[in-house]
Structure 1
Amino acid sequence: MLTADKFRNKLRKGKVYRRADLTQWSASIDRHLSRLVEAGVLKKLARGLYYVPKPSAFGPVPPHEKEVINIYLKGDDFLLVSPNYYNGLGLGTTQLYNRTRIYNHKKHGDVQLGNRVYEFRRKPKFPKKLSREYLVIDLLNNLKYLAEDEQIILENLKRSFAAFDSQALHAYAQQYGIGRTKKIVRLIFI
């Protein structure tokens, strides 16, 4: 096993680590981790989850969200969706939300990683990549949870239906939509 200095040299800037992954480099992992956190070399995201901040002119840069979630879930089978993405659809949504939703097959519930709260939702199926049409379906699935006027959003969706691929919307609605979403898509995109 390596000493604390050699252990420190194994760490890469901007990378996220699990405690279990670091045990190969140290016999006294907890002592080394606590010393490196105190020294500012490591930052603790959650229990057993650490990252090495990347220095920049504006201060330390946290790791990318996707990398944190990838390490936390021990895999890349997830879809990151923020209600803020709805604002780019041009449907009249303007609110900014402080939460990010992660659709996955493993975890469910709210988890704080660093200074962000992530809303993990266990879903049986979700697309591998985010598309505008899937965002519309996700918006309709979560419409009652948004701080927006539902009627205005639905009217804007009716007016701008030409901006979306109706075949993809129907397919996504059938595959990922709740009952209300399927009905809305059927009525709007006939």
Structure 2
Amino acid sequence: MKITDFIANSIDRLPKGYIFTYADLTDEVNKKEAVIKALNRMAQAGKIAKLSKGKYYKPEKTVFGNLQPEQKQVVKDLLEEDGKVTGYLTGLSMFNKLGLTTQVSNTIQIGKNQTRPRFKRERYTVSFIKQKNTITRENIPLLQILDAIRYIKKIPDTSMEQICKRFLAILTSLSPKEKKTLIRLALKYPPATRALLGAMLDQMQAKDLTAPLFQSLNPITQYNILGISKVLSTSERWNIV
């Protein structure tokens, strides 16, 4: 089989929007140059799209043009290393998916234990948020919630009242075990995040769970989050003004 036919058949089996490199198509060193040339020819012909140097994808075509790959695909090399999770989408990347805003950001934020300077990748700006907890596949959804609470003031195109109501719905959907894990993870977050999480859990009548959060805070420190008191009757107990 010709190398071009082999590549075309291999790409046909990939899902639309999946980002790949020559290494995903062959591990034979002597075929590397031929594969790269074939991929570039296919990109020039419009059969595949080129995301950046050495990265390609099979675009999903619509009447409005080609769809961009999902953000997770764009940065998947930054989320895993040798099959181990090392990062996760968070912050601006998740506000829309969590139902906190209708806006979709061109900034991809990644939570990692070890961060690096921001950089550009195609049309996206990729930046990093320091995560002090160990990152696992299981706790990523909870870390994403905590990160969103931490950066609540940066959620665009919505009111604090709407945001808070959405957070209450998200927290209500968690199991008792997940709530306990969320609180344990929150202890490594800034005090304002812990206070706001505690106030929301208290509002949900989960006061029996929030003692670790309450005890971790300085009783004389106040947290300025305008508009929260309209939704949370518990905000005063947590010194949120």
TM-score by length of 1: 0.65
Partner of 2:197: 185
RMSD over aligned CA atoms reads 4.1
> Which has the higher mean CA deviation after the structures are superposed, 40-49 or 22-31?
22-31
Per-residue deviation at 1:37? 0.9
Partner of 2:183: 170
User: Structure 1 residues 18, 126: closer, same or farther in 2, change over 3 A?
Assistant: same
User: Structure 1 residues 43, 178: closer, same or farther in 2, change over 3 A?
Assistant: same
Per-residue deviation at 1:94? 4.0
Q: Is the 8 A contact 1:105 1:122 kept in 2?
A: yes
Q: Does 1:69 align with 2:72?
A: no
Q: Does 1:83 align with 2:83?
A: no
Per-residue deviation at 1:44? 0.9
Partner of 2:148: 139
Per-residue deviation at 1:21? 4.2
> 3-state SS of the aligned residue for 1:11?
helix
Q: Does 1:9 align with 2:22?
A: no
Larger radius of gyration: 2
User: Structure 1 residues 148, 109: closer, same or farther in 2, change over 3 A?
Assistant: farther
- Unaligned 5+ segments in structure 1 are 88-92
User: Structure 1 residues 185, 46: closer, same or farther in 2, change over 3 A?
Assistant: same
User: Structure 1 residues 155, 22: closer, same or farther in 2, change over 3 A?
Assistant: closer
> 3-state SS of the aligned residue for 1:147?
coil
Identity %: 18
> 3-state SS of the aligned residue for 1:101?
strand
What residue identity is the alignment partner of 1:69?
V
User: Structure 1 residues 160, 74: closer, same or farther in 2, change over 3 A?
Assistant: closer
> Which has the higher mean CA deviation after the structures are superposed, 55-64 or 27-36?
55-64
User: Structure 1 residues 37, 137: closer, same or farther in 2, change over 3 A?
Assistant: same
What residue identity is the alignment partner of 1:174?
L
Partner of 1:96: 103
User: Structure 1 residues 139, 65: closer, same or farther in 2, change over 3 A?
Assistant: closer
Per-residue deviation at 1:153? 6.4
Q: Distance in 2 between matches of 1:158 and 1:57?
A: 36
Residues 69-101 of structure 1: per-residue CA shift (max 9 Å, x gap):
3346554623223111343xxxxx445232443
Q: Distance in 2 between matches of 1:148 and 1:100?
A: 18
Partner of 1:90: none
Q: Distance in 2 between matches of 1:22 and 1:39?
A: 19
Per-residue deviation at 1:9? 3.3
Which of structures 1 and 2 has the larger relative contact order (alpha carbons within 8 angstroms, sep 6+)?
1
Relative to total residues, which structure has the larger helix share, 1 or 2?
Answer: 1
Q: Is the 8 A contact 1:169 1:185 kept in 2?
A: no
Residues 84-135 of structure 1: per-residue CA shift (max 9 Å, x gap):
1343xxxxx445232443223566454555544444445343452454x544
Residues 136-184 of structure 1: per-residue CA shift (max 9 Å, x gap):
4222211232336886468758987983655344223114x22321233
Aligned residues: 183
User: Structure 1 residues 110, 95: closer, same or farther in 2, change over 3 A?
Assistant: farther
TM-score by length of 2: 0.54
